[in-house]
Amino acid sequence: MYLETHTHGRLGYAPEKSALPLLGARVEALFTPRAADPDRSGLYVVSSNAGFQSSLLFWSEARQNGLGLANPELFPWTLANAPCGWLAREFHITGPNATYTGKDDALMWALDQADDDLLSQQVDTAWIVAVDFAQQPASRTEFSAVRLSLRPASLRMTRTAVAVPRAGRSLRASAALAKAFVMLKTCPSVTVADDRSAWLIGQ
């Protein structure tokens, strides 16, 4: 499959409900122009902590005021797949929608699924959005996103048969993709991997 375009960046601290519109504005170019057939578009979101902050807020209110008086508006955002649902509605992606929780291992599962869906012609275009939400006012939400297809482009992603051993701790999915994009500026190819599998990105 081919990597048509990509982006990565940081956002300020905010609960998921407030952070998603900010994220949407930053990744909008990846979804433009809109897919001709939304049913043949796939969205695969990866996060290590989606829903965590909203869960803490919701249960804190429930413990303080009683479950019946906890803010019901927060409850949908306690679910890990809430960001995927929001992005799918915002960008009219009505094909496969999936959420993967974890770090670089979850990113590998998302890449594998996107590749399978493209090769089986279930989708024509696949977006992977990796987002790790800030948990403290001093921290930042980090995101990386790619648009993939089988249409020839300057960068190709190839699944390798042998995993590349990691050095040190695993990376969050957003950091793993961002690191690859930075390295691509000086290297002809880079590898994104966990202990199970690897993807080679190159020309």
**Residue 185 phi, psi dihedral angles, 5° rounding:** -70, -25
Q: How many beta carbons lie within 10 A of that of residue 192, not counting itself?
A: 22
**26 against 80, higher pLDDT:** 26
Q: Is the peptide bond before 15 cis (omega within 30 degrees of 0)?
A: no
Query: Which residue range is the domain that position 122 belongs to?
Result: 2-202
Split into its structural domains, the chain has a count of: 1
Predicted confidence (pLDDT) per residue in 99-121, tens digit: 999 999 999 999 999 999 999 99
- Ordered DSSP codes for 84-113: HHHHHHHHT--S-EEEEESSHHHHHHHHHH
Q: What is the pLDDT of residues 121-153, one digit of tens each?
A: 999 999 999 999 998 888 999 999 999 999 999
Give the CATH number of the domain where residue 35 resides. 3.40.47
Query: In the predicted model, what is the mean pLDDT of the chain?
Result: 88
